[in-house]
Chains A and B, each alone.
Chain A
Amino acid sequence: MKAFRKLTSRVAPLDRANVDTDQIIPKQFLKRIERTGYGEFLFFDWRRIQDGPNAGAEDSSFVLNQPRYKGVEILVAGKNFGSGSSREHAAWALSDYGFRSVIAPSFADIFYSNAGKNGILLITLPENQVQTLMERATSLPDYRLHISLEDQTVTDDQGFSAKFTIDPFRRDCLLQGLDDIGLSLRHAEALDRFEKQHDAAFWLAPRPAGTAANRGASSRA
């Protein structure tokens, strides 16, 4: 995983609440079996004109289509960002497009976890502070934010300064770009012990012992 320490970037304001993962990446792009290449599909429908003679053409009113927001790495959005489907493709699309941080008043749980595993820093700030950033990113040309994960701060050059909180474990993982599976395997011995005991609880087994795993199913091994 990519490590995250500090970031200075221009900022794109997405002034909508409850942005769901179906909008971040629509279902037609979930059929791919790759982990990369989703950036061009980010906000696919919102980036395009939906009806009328120009349907399908780029919608120049959508924030990410405006030249001033090309190449931004920070997105500011309304509350409950990333709600809905568990598709990690949403995090892959944001990351592939170039976003390294999203700032919002709140995030949906599964998206929060998916973003962290892809090196995207999600920052939760109170609604009024997010509103300030939204307004500045909209009205000030070339508006930039500085994010420091080490200091847990978001600042700009116009006097905005906010501290954010983040779970210390998540912060560590991001700072060091740690591999989750590797981390969990530190507990391999405890896991072996636990599992041996736990397997005795047959009422928690998917199939009773002795049932052919493949009865009715195939695994073409």
Chain B
Amino acid sequence: MSSAKTLFEKVWESHVVAAPAGEPALLYIDLQLIHEVTSPQAFDGLRMSGRTVRRPDRSVATIDHNVPTTANRLVIEDPIAARQIETLRANCAEFGIPLYDVQSPDQGIVHVIGPELGITKPGMTIVCGDSHTSTHGALGALAVGIGTSEVEHVLATQCLQQSRPKTFRILVEGVLPPAVTAKDIALGIIGRIGTDGATGHVIEYAGSAIRALSMEGRMTLCNMSIEAGARAGMIAPDEVTFAYLKGKKFAPSGAAWDEAVAAWRSLAGDAGAQFDRELVLRAEELAPFVTWGTNPAMVVPVTARVPDPASSRSEAERRSWERALEYMALEPGKPIEELAIDRVFIGSCTNSRIEDLRAAAHVVQGYHVHPHVRAMVVPGSQRVKAQAEQEGLDQIFRSAGFDWREPGCSMCLGMNPDILSPGERCASTSNRNFEGRQGRGGRTHLVSPEMAAAAAVSGHFTDVRKWEFKPESNLVGSKN
């Protein structure tokens, strides 16, 4: 066996506390991120068994899933949601865990604030009771989503039992066409390999098109790894990563910075390292994608038509397509660009960072939201919101008729009051188009921020590659 190692292997091997024969490894966890929804039962479990939090300094909490995104959100009308939030506050106080509460200038979606505060670092192992923890892999961390029993396990032991996953390298080579984004890479991959295409694997994204992505784009891509069934997604840290981290609130500084960069630099996979699987894509072949069904693999380019179940590859697939078309109220053969929409949601841990908002604003500038459409922008964090306001993006959105909201998960999963009504069709920059995800009976189409913005203006899906940008627009362009 060669001694050349992949990025994943380096991170994994430097965190193994014990590897008893015939059992999963015990992996040391550098950071646990905590939010209100998946933690209360874990803290209860600790109390019931007389255990405590081993490393509060390796834990960070925020409130994101439940919070209203309206300006007066300190008063939470839903008593059950309010109790859940109070419970997190009490648990953090009891166990000494730092909490970015609703009023904190650092509050935001857990997967947005980790990187932006410099808490997330290359080479770390990170867990969170949330499947999109894979986001943090964009910085070269091994970041996995876990259930509540595991949250409790990590609180008590700072370790996670994990069987060693397989490795899967996805190379995206070439140059992305204009207006084709990291979101489209993600949707293109999932459409190709399916929602279980990477089950049991950790994906490492590599290739020239990946290297050319900004940190924000890399986070969007790694975020969606779970939608292909992967345990995690990772990208080797490079100059883009270091430039992003430098000066962040909790990044090392001075001499420690140089030492840290040297350590992080050594994480990149060695030449000749072997992967269990590999897939190569050409960036030039990707297009702006739109999902048409009820999982993220049901996806086509914006210029395509709603597929016909008659052309599916198996009996099981035909039935699931038929069911999806019925739920989505779509007829086979209808051009995607003719689908009229009712709502637009720009937000979620997939696409709510500053570059996402810049890209969407660039499309919207000089236009107005279509009269039949209700559109909202929910920045991923207080910091993103403040930055956007400083750049005047909020003004562009507001004057175009968008709602400009406070940070949180919002309509990504509709645990707070932001939901679709039954039958409403939504262009959404989030990550899941499951039945009822954004509200019972709601119909979600996943797209990039640019595509969502264009749909908001047009009232239907439209190919953003042909967008006429208004001449007064002088904003920073799209993220690629």
Chain B residues with CB under 8 Å of chain A are 15, 17-18, 20, 22-24, 26, 28, 30-31, 37-38, 40-41, 44-45, 49, 51, 56-58, 60, 65-66, 78, 80-81, 83-84, 87, 89, 92-94, 96-101, 104-106, 119, 121-124, 129-131, 145-150, 152-153, 156-159, 161, 163, 195-196, 199-200, 229, 231, 249-253, 256, 259-260, 263-264, 295, 316-317, 319-320, 323, 413-415, 422-423, 432, 434-437, 440-441
Is A68 interfacial (CB-CB < 8 Å)? no
Instruction: Report how far A150 CA is from B158 CA in the complex, Å.
Output: 32
Beta-carbon nearest neighbor of B124 in chain A: A204
| Distance of B192 from chain A, by nearest CB (Å) | 16
Q: Determine which of A84, A108, A217 lies in contact with B100 in the assembled complex, contact meaning CB atoms within 8 Å.
A: A217
Q: Determine which of A22, A31, A86, A91 lies in contact with B434 in the assembled complex, contact meaning CB atoms within 8 Å.
A: A22
B119 with A206: CB separation less than 8 A: yes
B150 cross-chain contacts in A, Cβ below 8 A: 113, 117
Instruction: Report how far A123 CA is from B157 CA in the complex, Å.
Output: 29
Instruction: Report how far A203 CA is from B415 CA in the complex, Å.
Output: 36
B441 with A180: CB separation less than 8 A: no
Chain A to chain B: the 6 pairs with minimum beta-carbon distance, closest first: A203-B260, A88-B147, A217-B98, A114-B147, A33-B40, A117-B149
Is A191 interfacial (CB-CB < 8 Å)? yes
| Distance of A202 from chain B, by nearest CB (Å) | 7
Instruction: Report how far A43 CA is from B297 CA in the complex, Å.
Output: 22
B196 with A79: CB separation less than 8 A: yes
Instruction: Report how far A1 CA is from B295 CA in the complex, Å.
Output: 33
B316 with A17: CB separation less than 8 A: yes
Judged by DSSP, the binding face of B is loop
B26 cross-chain contacts in A, Cβ below 8 A: 184, 187, 190-191
B37 cross-chain contacts in A, Cβ below 8 A: 30-31, 87
A contacts with B, residue count (CB < 8 A): 69
A198 cross-chain contacts in B, Cβ below 8 A: 15, 28
Instruction: Report how far A184 CA is from B40 CA in the complex, Å.
Output: 22
| Distance of A191 from chain B, by nearest CB (Å) | 5
B84 cross-chain contacts in A, Cβ below 8 A: 31-33
B49 cross-chain contacts in A, Cβ below 8 A: 181
Is A140 interfacial (CB-CB < 8 Å)? no
A80 cross-chain contacts in B, Cβ below 8 A: 195-196, 199, 229
Could you list 7 further interchain pairs (A-B, Cβ under 8 angstroms) beyond the known A27-B415, A203-B256, A219-B99? A31-B80, A33-B41, A187-B159, A191-B26, A191-B157, A217-B99, A219-B98
B60 with A206: CB separation less than 8 A: yes
A108 cross-chain contacts in B, Cβ below 8 A: 196, 199, 229
Instruction: Mark A81-118 against chain B: 1 for CB-CB distance below 8 A, else 0.
Output: 00111111001000000000000001011100110011
Instruction: Mark A36-79 against chain B: 1 for CB-CB distance below 8 A, else 0.
Output: 00000000010000110000000000000000000000000011
A84 with B80: CB separation less than 8 A: no
B163 cross-chain contacts in A, Cβ below 8 A: 167
Segment with Cβ contacts to B, from A6-14, A152-160, A207-215: A207-215
Beta-carbon nearest neighbor of B327 in chain A: A50
A169 with B23: CB separation less than 8 A: yes
B195 cross-chain contacts in A, Cβ below 8 A: 18, 80, 83
| Distance of B76 from chain A, by nearest CB (Å) | 10
| Distance of A138 from chain B, by nearest CB (Å) | 14
